[in-house]
Structure 1
Amino acid sequence: MPPRRRDRRSHRDPSPSPSRPSGPRASPSSPRLRLAFIVPPLLLLVLTVLHFTGLLSRSPPYPQTPGKTPLSVYDRGLVKRQVSAGEILAEHARVSENRSRRHFPNPVLAYVTPWNSKGYDMAKLFSMKLTHVSPVWYDLKSDRNKLSLEGQHNYDAGWVSELQNSGSLVVPRVVLEAFPGVVLLKKKSRDKTIELIVSECRDKGYDGVVLESWSRWAAYGVLDDPELRQLALQFVKQLGEALHSISSKSSTRNHLELIYVIPAPRMEGPNNQDFGPEDLLQLADSVGGFSLMTYDFSGPQNPGPSAPLKWIQYSLTTLLPAKGSASQVHSHMIFLGINFYGNDFLLSKGGGGGSITGRDFIHLLEKYKPSLQWDDKSSEHFFIYSDKGVRHAVFYPTLLSLSVRLDEAQDWGAGLSIWEIGQGLDYFFDVL
């Protein structure tokens, strides 16, 4: 993983997932034939809906600039299990005046979206706590054999420069929407795809990119075919090496880097669509890191926590060796996914509901004055409320749930990737 589009991909259901349709094929060993078929329109519609899922903020905006206090949330005794709605309402918009102090020492990647503009301001205010900032600006698409990089209009030269001058690396996200048959099976198109991305980095002075492609390849059936899967991994390696060959304008010591977005492993056991430890090892020498999507464990049909701690631990254990010196080789490349959004689920028959932002959460606290409960199993807070006879369950991050996950990441030597900073409460930045 917001108000218009959260880009959290499909919901994580802890029950075994049915295999995704990959279209008809003549032979399992014929990748050209397999990719020749167009994905069914229904599947494309589902992907589009998932990609643009989100609820418009329902409550009045709260102040864009947070208030200041000499004390951090730790000093104020706010990181705890017993937290009340009144306390959150009174404290959420106040942050420590020392915005350069870092409680979390490892790299922090923060996503920012154009449809949630508060993130732009938060990135500048707390740039000293963010090693990487990824504005969600680009989509690389194909029309038959023609490739195009869309999103250049989002570029804000002043904002990028201000972040880089503060020490943050700016690595915009690029979603590879192009048809895999074009990008993976045709060398000329593959080289052109890489050229488009590298040229945009060079022209705009970026420090690299965050690439998202795995979920698209899964939907097209690429990952079910060993030959195509290998071509997909080779493409990522080639892009990473091409970026690494160019020096960063904002730092003479660095080269452009590639951070690759990967899904969290399924708890019911791996399948072909999962990104596994073997895939990580293949890419480790060519990419700068992996943005691990450890959020969206639950969905409207299975209401529950966004990112149970045991699931996070399972994901890290599956991808990496046991904690210790052996794991440090690659654990430092993981940017552990942390959600700054939450969910408001309907508990009625048939389920329903969806994502909420910080201002939605504050609106619910003001209106219903709920009692927050701590769930030991997931290490998350939640509350129940009723509206027009329908019961709702709300799961939204709190200072303690975030602190627990930051401790876990630090124990592994991993970094963080936050989706996304415009959706959180102001005082969340104090824990970073």
Structure 2
Amino acid sequence: MAKRRVTADRDRRRNRVQPEVQEDQTGGAASQRHPDRRKFVALVFFSILILIISLTLYRIKSNPRSTNELLSVYDRGLVRTNVNYQEILAENLKVSENTSYRHFKYPVLAYVTPWNSKGYELAKRFNSKLTHISPVWYDLKSEGTQLVLEGRHNADLGWISELRVNRHALVLPRFVLEAFPKELLRKKKQWNKAIDLIVTECKEMGYDGIVLESWSRWAAYGVLHDPDMRSKALQFIKKLGQELHSVSSDRNPEYHLQLVYVIGPPHSENLQEHDFGPDDLQNLSNAVDGFSLMTYDFSGPYNPGPNAPLSWIRSTLKLLIGATGTSEKGLAHKIFLGINFYGNDFVLSEGSGGGAITGREYMSLLEKHRPMLRWEDNSDEHLFIYTDNRGIRHAVFYPSLKSISLRLEEAHAWGAGISIWEIGQGVKRFQWNCGSCKTEHQCFLWLYICFEVSEYIDTLTITMQCTGTSAWECKECKFCYVFVFLPPILFCFSSLTGREALARAK
């Protein structure tokens, strides 16, 4: 009896101990899972926190009250003669977000070139501020006895459709007459063929007209020295204008196709045969809707100096349309006063040299040489001097806010429009800067998102690096704050979900 009682007591004790062991084992397994749960909860909390921070930054960035981007350069005190390179480097990537209001009440023509493709984007963005957009697409050439129109491969109808969403600026591609002028102007058949090719292209492509450049070519060939050939040249332009005016615009049948003619400034007050003068302006005024006046390139590599002295611009306008206040001012509204968005880097040593530079090159020079800019009263332009790594001195003339402002005021005083050559090569005040390369003018970004996942996730490293390449271009949508963090978060969640599923399957 005693043995049975002892055995029974042992069994009861064993039964009491086993649940305790089971509980300990269960608790141990649970304790092993607790860190995993804590990691998961921490990850969820971290993800939510990052999203909140990202959205907060986005709202701060997108709130115009938190920045001065809506203030004009005049309100911000940037239009002045005493500027420095630091200010230009810091401000060149900023622009007002107001892309719809036009401050300049007269016509504005902007050229866009295939070799500076950023102009296409700018034309879309600032479409409301422009009245005419001229993509540089076409050339009319001679091939033997035939005329050939080249350039349709450059045409971008999708881009034109985007421009016309808000029905603002007219699209007038530039056509350059490179055909042999003697053959073109003397033979009526060639004459008519050239006009037919141009008008037909406008009809088929749905353009609003054209910008025609031929006078400088004809002058280079020497045909304008012949009074008869000069007369034929003017007649050709008239005929082309009449034919374009006979075609209704696809956008608005009440309007006809337009002709804008490119003219160079007279070389002096004593007009030569090859100069386009006030009589020519008057002669073509009914057939031509506007004259794109190239008031730039005043200086060259072998006569270094300002790009377009304001006094020279003023004297050119006076020569073409008369003194302010005279009856000839009635033609001022047909003038598109040329403003250059490029500059020049001239060599000052023996032999001279140098040439045009774009905004990208200008910013690079400012960053590298850190020059002192000075204002030239004689030309109303900014310039600076620097010495390159070979010890050669250079003079750089580049448009500034002040110089452009004065030229806009001059055009406004005459009642003239402006033409910009060209919007794709100027200082990129409207691009976002990543901060690591404060002088990149077309700042492109690679977003490198690196994961090191070990037992769910140990580290999450996010870096942004400016490569200076066209891999991914920031378009200032400001959603990058969310974009940068969202992919790794989704990746981590998918990783956790997959691992839990595998664990349960085992």
Give the TM-score normalised by the residue count of structure 1.
0.82
CA contact (8 A) 1:164 1:250 kept: no
AA aligned opposite 2:325: G
Write the distance in 1 (CA, Å) between the matches of 2:399 and 2:254: 36
Partner of 2:202: 201
Shift of 1:267: 2.9
Structure with a larger share of its residues in helix: 2
Query: How many angstroms apart in 1 are the aligned matches of 2:68 and 2:265?
Result: 36
Structure 1 position 163 matched with structure 2 position 142: no
1:28-427 matches, cutoff 5 A: 69-166=69-166, 167-267=168-268, 269-324=270-325, 326-387=327-388, 388-427=390-429
Structure 1 residue 68: deviation in Å?
8.4
Q: Distance in 2 between matches of 1:194 and 1:203?
A: 14
Separation in structure 2 between the aligned mates of residue 325 and residue 117 of structure 1, nearest angstrom: 42
3-state DSSP class of the match of 1:139? strand
- C-alpha separation between the residues in 2 aligned to 1:312 and 1:239? 29
Distance 1:268 1:377 in 2: 19
Q: Is the 8 A contact 1:68 1:97 kept in 2?
A: no
Distance 1:428-1:258 versus aligned 2 partners, 3 A rule = farther
SS of 2:327's equivalent? Answer: coil
* Structure 1 residues 428 and 179: alpha-carbon distance in aligned structure 2, compared to 1, 3 A threshold: farther
Moved over 3 A (4+): 426-429
How much does 1:269 deviate?
Answer: 2.8
| More divergent stretch after superposition (244-253 vs 190-199) | 244-253
SS in 2 for 1:383: strand
Moved more, 247-256 or 141-150: 247-256
Residues 216-256 of structure 1, C-alpha deviation per residue, up to 9 Å, x if partnerless?
11112111011100000000000001001111112333210
| Structure 2: distance between partners of 1:68 and 1:80 | 18
Secondary structure at the aligned position of 1:184 is classed as helix
CA distance in 2, matches of 1:68, 1:165: 29
Deviation at 1:270, TM superposition (A): 1.8
- Cα deviation for residue 325 of structure 1 reads 5.5
Deviation at 1:116, TM superposition (A): 0.7
Contact 2:269 2:319 in 1 (8 A): no
Between 98-107 and 378-387, report the one with greater CA deviation: 98-107
Q: Structure 1 residue 341: deviation in Å? A: 0.3
Distance 1:258 1:228 in 2: 21
Instruction: Note closer, same or farther for the CA distance 1:416–1:89 as it changes in structure 2 (3 Å cut).
Output: same
Query: Which amino acid is the alignment partner of residue 218 of structure 2?
Result: W
SS at match of 1:96: coil
Equivalent-residue separation in structure 1 for 2:375 and 2:270 (angstroms): 28
Q: 2:160 corresponds to which letter in structure 1?
A: V
Task: State the identity as a percent.
Answer: 62
- The Cα offsets for residues 161-205 of structure 1, whole Å up to 9 and x where unpaired, read as 222333110000000000112211111111110000001000011
What RMSD over aligned residues (CA atoms) do the two structures have, in Å?
1.5
Residue 23 of structure 2 corresponds to: none
Q: Which runs of 5+ in 2 are unaligned?
A: 1-66, 432-506
Distance (whole Å) between structure 1 residues aligned to residue 151 and residue 238 of structure 2: 24
How far did 1:268 drift?
6.0
> In the alignment, what sits opposite 1:45?
none
Alpha-carbon separation, structure 2, partners of 1:425 and 1:397: 9
Kindly provide the amino acid, as one letter, of the partner of residue 245 in structure 1. S
Structure 1 residues 200 and 68: CA distance shift in structure 2, 3 A: farther
Q: Which has the larger radius of gyration?
A: 2
Counterpart residue type for residue 135 of structure 1: P
Q: TM-score by structure 2 length?
A: 0.70
Paired with 1:265 and 1:212, the residues of 2 have a C-alpha distance of 16
What is the Cα deviation at residue 362 of structure 1? Answer: 0.5
Looking at structure 2, the residues matched to 314 and 208 of structure 1 have their Cα atoms a distance apart, in angstroms, of 30
Contact preservation (8 Å) 1:73, 1:427:
no
Distance 1:138 1:72 in 2: 36
* Matched letter for residue 399 of structure 1: L
- Structure 1 residue runs of 5 or longer lacking an equivalent are 1-66
Distance 1:251 1:407 in 2: 32
SS at match of 1:69: coil
Work out the CA distance in 2 between the residues paired with 1:181 and 1:150.
20
SS across alignment from 1:109? strand
Equivalent residues of 2:94, 2:430 under 8 A apart: no
Cα contact 1:327–1:412 (8 A) shared by 2: no
Q: How far apart, CA to CA, are the structure 1 residues paired with 2:269 and 2:323?
A: 20
Q: Secondary structure of the residue that 1:120 maps to in structure 2?
A: helix
CA contact 2:93–2:430 (8 Å) conserved in 1: no
Partner SS state of residue 272, structure 1:
coil
Moved more, 68-77 or 122-131: 68-77
- Rounded Cα–Cα distance in structure 1 between residues aligned with 2:430 and 2:79: 10
Q: Is the 8 A contact 1:111 1:421 kept in 2?
A: yes
**Which residue number in structure 1 is paired with residue 473 of structure 2?**
none
Q: Secondary structure at the match of 2:237?
A: helix
- 2:375 partner amino acid: W
Give matches, 1:3-22, under 5 Å. Answer: none
Give a deviation string over 1:237-292, Cα, whole Å, max 9, x none.
00001001111112333210100000111136321110011111110010101000
Q: Is 2:298–2:309's contact at 8 Å kept on the other side of the alignment?
A: yes
Measured after TM superposition, the shift of residue 327 of structure 1 is 3.3
For 2:264, the aligned partner's letter is P
Say which structure, 1 or 2, has more relative contact order (CA 8 Å, 6+ apart). Answer: 1
Amino acid at match of 1:343: N
Shift of 1:324: 2.0
Q: What one-letter code is carried by the residue in structure 2 that aligns with 1:109? A: L
